[in-house]
Amino acid sequence: MNPKRRIIPIFIPNAGCQHNCVFCDQRRITGAIAPVIEDGKLRIDNLESITAPTELAFYGGSFTAIPAAQQIMLLEAACYFLELNALNTIRISTRPDCIDEPTIDRLKKYGVATVELGAQSMCDDVLSAANRGHTSSDTVRAAKLLKDSGLMFIIHMMTGLPGDTREKSLYTAKRIAELKPDGVRVHPTIVVRGTKLFELYESGDYLEHTVECAVELCSELYAIFNDAGIPVIRFGLNPSEPLSSGEALAGAYHPAFGELVYSRVYFKKAAALLEGVPPGSSITLSVAKGHMSMMIGQHRCNIEALKKKYSLQSLKVIESNQDKGTVYIIK
């Protein structure tokens, strides 16, 4: 992965998508409008004032499914962005069935460095129920093409889709890990007003994938990807005004979802360390700098739960110079 850099998202809502996925309403999810091109350049406010390495990301639609001429128009309009800084890059998001060798050649020609693939599941029955319009074999093929081309690629997966189960999500994560992507994004399903999934939910044909269920499952997925050395770039959707204002009617939407997942991960690691600690002990745990809130949990939920579970007299958390994700008992 490249060093962490600022990302400027350019949304192309639903562009190129020929399928109506049951969960999808990009306008409500992103609150975005189409990109504006002026004088042959993408209009990006205050771009010249950004001096740090930056990535321009075409999100929100299946970029490589739109006509090639339109792809070229957008990429040519972004060329000046690459000239502003030698470390600036471009990424696009697309579907696994919209990747082939000519497409990859086009992306590389215009400076695209990273491709995000919306795989969602590696179970074909789940993909069919979600009306994705592609199969798991499409994801395997696209991943190999991207890996062989030298482009970085990130795979998106979803949990809680119609027909999905904990076991299927764990299977999907393991299959994705075998493809060795440069990163993953995990998006638990939410029910958005106006989608087919909303109709299924209202009729009782779809059971809500709750925040609590999704947090626990994602903590298990994190372990799979972490053991495989694959970074999880994000858990959950980016918070947006439409979703936070009520368009997310049910499902695993929480503006701090990722924090909840990592808090659960820390809880499990601390619990493993505390097994066998004598009741009545006073314990101090050490975590990496900036990770104390994750260990403590919202409203101190981790601390209180661990104290009760192991009958501790007290439990404190401190920060130190140690690897992120690690937890130690201070003697």
Lowest-pLDDT range of 4-13, 63-72, 104-113, 234-243: 4-13
Task: Tell me how far the alpha carbon of residue 274 is from its chain's centroid.
Answer: 31
Residue 260 has pLDDT above 70, yes or no: yes
Task: Give the pLDDT of residue 28.
Answer: 47
Task: Give the pLDDT of residue 121.
Answer: 98
Residue 39 has pLDDT above 80, yes or no: no
| N- to C-terminal Cα separation, the chain | 36
Task: Give the pLDDT of residue 17.
Answer: 65
What's the chain's average pLDDT? 91
Residue 3 has pLDDT above 60, yes or no: no
Task: Give the pLDDT of residue 203.
Answer: 96
CA-to-CA separations, 118 to 27, 110, 181, 221, 248, in angstroms, rounded: 17, 22, 12, 17, 20
Helix-strand-coil split of the chain, %, nearest 5: 40, 20, 35
Hey, what domains does the chain have and what are their CATH numbers? 6-255 (3.20.20.70), 277-329 (no CATH)
Query: In b/e form, how buried is each residue of 221-230, taking b as 16+ CB within 10 angstroms?
Result: bbebbeeeeb
Contacts of 47 (CB under 8 A, 6+ apart): 8, 81, 84
Task: Give the pLDDT of residue 84.
Answer: 87
Lowest-pLDDT range of 190-204, 243-257, 270-284: 243-257
What's the DSSP call for residue 245?
Answer: I
Task: Give the pLDDT of residue 19.
Answer: 66
Average pLDDT over residues 229-251: 87
Model confidence over 139-154: pLDDT tens digits? 999 999 999 999 999 9
Of 225, 195, 206, give the one whose Cα is nearest residue 160. Answer: 206
Model confidence over 7-25: pLDDT tens digits? 888 887 666 566 678 888 6
Asked if 321 and 289 touch (Cβ cutoff 8 Å), the reply is yes
Average pLDDT over residues 69-81: 91
DSSP 198-214: HHHHHHTSS----HHHH
